[in-house]
Chain A
Amino acid sequence: MVGLSAGEKHFIYGGIAQDLRTDGRQRLHYRPISVEIGVIPQANGSSRVRLGATDVIVSIKAELGRPSSLHPDKGKVAIFIDCSPTAAPMFEGRGGEELSSELSLALQRCLLGGRSGAGAGIDLSSLVIVEGKVCWDLYIDGLVVSSDGNLLDALAAAIKVALCNTGIPKTTVNLGASPNDQPDVDVSDEEFLQFDTSGVPVIVTLTKVGRHYIVDATSEEESQMSSAVSISVNRHGQICGLTKRGGAGLDPSVILDMISVAKHVGEQLMSSLDSEIAAAEASAEDQ
Chain B
Amino acid sequence: MATNPSTYSPSQSSERKQLQQQRRRLFQETDWTRFDGRGFQQCRPAFLKTGAASAASGSAFAAFGATKVIVSVFGPRESKKAMLYSSTGRLNCNVSYTAFSTSIRGQSSDHKEYSSMLHKALEGAIILETFPKTTVDVFALVVESGGGDLPVIITCASLALADAGIMMYDLVSSVSVSCFGRNIVIDPTSEEEACQDGNLMITCMPARNEVTQVTLTGEWSTAKINEAMELCLDACSKLAEIMRSCLKEAASAPS
Contacts and interface: CB of A to CB of B under 8 A. Distances in A.
| Complex A–B touching at CB under 8 A | yes
A256 interface: yes
B195 A115 contact: yes
A119 B214 contact: no
Interface string A239-253: 111111111111110
A119 B124 contact: no
Interface stretch (B43-51, B203-211, B247-255): B203-211
B204 to A, nearest CB: 7
B219 A256 contact: no
A85 interface: no
A263 B221 CA distance: 11
A131 B179 CA distance: 27
Given A114-B196, A118-B197, A239 B222 contact: yes
Given A69-B13, A245-B120, A249-B212, A255 B229 contact: yes
Contacts of A263: 222
Contacts of A255: 211, 214, 229
B242 interface: no
A201 B110 CA distance: 23
A15 B255 CA distance: 56
A251 B210 contact: yes
A238 B123 contact: no
A105 B13 CA distance: 28
Contacts of B199: 114-115
Contacts of B195: 115-116
B113 interface: yes
Given A113-B217, A114-B217, A239-B216, A252 B211 contact: yes
A252 B229 contact: yes
Nearest to B230: A252
B203 to A, nearest CB: 9
B220 interface: yes
Contacts of A6: none
A239 B220 contact: yes
A70 interface: yes
Contacts of A98: 116
A249 B204 contact: yes
Given A114-B199, A244-B213, A247-B124, A239 B221 contact: yes
Interface string B174-205: 00000100000000000001111111000011
Contact of B17 (A69, A105, A242): A69
Chain B CB within 10 A, most for which of A70, A105, A114, A240:
A114
Interface residues of A, number: 38
Interface centre among A118, A227, A229 (most CB of B within 10 A): A118
Contacts of B226: 256
Nearest to B119: A247
Given A115-B193, A119-B198, A249 B218 contact: no
The majority secondary structure among interface residues of chain B is mixed
Interface string B106-149: 00000011001000100111000000000000000000000000
A209 to B, nearest CB: 16
A260 interface: yes
Max count, chain A CB within 10 A of own CB: residue among B24, B124, B195: B124
B53 interface: no
Nearest to A263: B222
A113 B218 contact: yes
Contact of A259 (B120, B193, B211, B222): B222
B229 A109 contact: no
B17 to A, nearest CB: 7
A102 interface: yes
A249 B215 contact: no
B233 interface: yes
Interface string A117-134: 011000000000000000
Nearest to B181: A118
A234 interface: yes
Contacts of A102: 116
Nearest to B213: A244
Contacts of A234: 219
Contacts of A245: 120
Nearest to B216: A242
Given A115-B194, A247-B120, A249-B204, A239 B229 contact: no
Interface of A: 69-70, 72, 98, 101-102, 105, 109, 113-116, 118-119, 227, 229, 234, 237-252, 255-256, 259-260, 263
7 contacts: A72-B17, A114-B197, A114-B198, A242-B214, A243-B216, A244-B213, A247-B120
